[in-house]
Amino acid sequence: MSIRPTLLTLLLTGMFCASGAYAQDSAPPDDQNAKRVSGVNIHRGGWDRIVPTEPADQTSGPAPLRDLSGTWEPTPGFRDGVFSQGPKEYPADGKPEHDLPFTPLGLQKFKENKPGQGAFAVPIAAANDPFLICDPLGFPRIELFNLRAMRVFQNKSQVDFIYQNDQAYRTVWMDGRSLPKEILESRWYGYSVGKWTDDYTFVIETVGMDERTWIDNVGRPHSEELKVTEIWHRVSHDILELTLTIDDPKMYTKQWTAINKFRMRLRPDWFDIHEMVCSASEAQQYLQTVADEAAAEKKADSEKKK
């Protein structure tokens, strides 16, 4: 009599495996005592639990309707969203095809920014990146630099994003409200509204970002007129894609898409996000201990302690 459930189980298991998904609800591995190996990348969550190896293909079972909830990480590599040299479609590598359509003001502001990365990088001791002193990354930089794990909660009126980097969060309203007609108070992470354009595509518009923030890690500037559009497309149960477009007529003569269909993968329910906080004291320690020391004049041998 037990053959039916067994067959059903096998059938469902087979379908699940064939879909390329890995078990979201599987029990976390008990690997606290597993021998730690260095030199190879074995992905671990915040509680030191090893994350299952991703399936080689990018497909999985069908996506749930109108649902972004879960914990997501860039794929195929969890560090693929670091974008240290600028966002994927427009890295600051000096190639003409990656030059942005700056207005004269935009170019002036870009030159005033002194990043630590990209074709126009300066030594850290000379950089003026606001994140060096742990000013908030703000939006959209939180998605265009060091986009790592991201947890999404949603209910009928809002979607909340929590980012690993700097433990920042933002709220996207989908209760029918419109974007503010006038920005009385700019915010690091702006004002966001979103709507489902179909059962798998959520489109967010954000305005009102604080002008002190950079768009990305290489110092692309923005004005108070910046409007960012995100298209989150749930391709399947396990895969989410992000396309992010910048529109700021004061700084750029036309819109530009910073990342296009950038893929993130759903993590198991037990996945804990590793802490990654910009601590002011740790940042200061880094600047004094490493950056300032690297930039200092070489000490004479006689001054070195014996």
Least distance between another protein and beta carbon 235 (Å): 25
Least distance between another protein and beta carbon 248 (Å): 22
Least distance between another protein and beta carbon 276 (Å): 5
Asked if residue 87 lies in contact with residue 258, where contact means CB atoms within 8 angstroms, the answer is yes
Structure tokens at 2: 């037990």
Structure tokens at 78: 């969890």
How far is Cα 152 from Cα 146, in angstroms, rounded to an integer?
A: 17
How far is Cα 150 from Cα 262, in angstroms, rounded to an integer?
A: 14
Least distance between another protein and beta carbon 299 (Å): 7
- What radius of gyration, in Å, describes the C-alpha atoms of the chain? 22
DSSP state of 126: G
Of residues 115 and 208, the one with the C-beta less far from another protein: 115
> What is the maximum alpha-carbon separation in the chain?
88
Of residues 198 and 293, the one with the C-beta less far from another protein: 293
SS3 (DSSP) at 37:
coil
Of residues 4 and 36, the one with the C-beta less far from another protein: 36
Of residues 157 and 285, the one with the C-beta less far from another protein: 285
Least distance between another protein and beta carbon 168 (Å): 14
Q: What sign has the CA pseudo-torsion 134, 137, 142, 147? A: negative
Asked if residue 256 lies in contact with residue 100, where contact means CB atoms within 8 angstroms, the answer is yes
Question: Applying CB under 8 A, which residues contact another protein?
Answer: 36-44, 48, 78-79, 82, 84-85, 115-118, 121-125, 129, 131-132, 145-146, 148, 164, 217, 274-279, 282-283, 285-286, 289-291, 293-299, 301, 304-306
Least distance between another protein and beta carbon 295 (Å): 6
Q: Which residues of 283-301 are buried (b: 16+ CB within 10 A; e: fewer)?
A: beeebeeebeeeeeeeeee
Of residues 203 and 283, the one with the C-beta less far from another protein: 283
Of residues 157 and 167, the one with the C-beta less far from another protein: 167
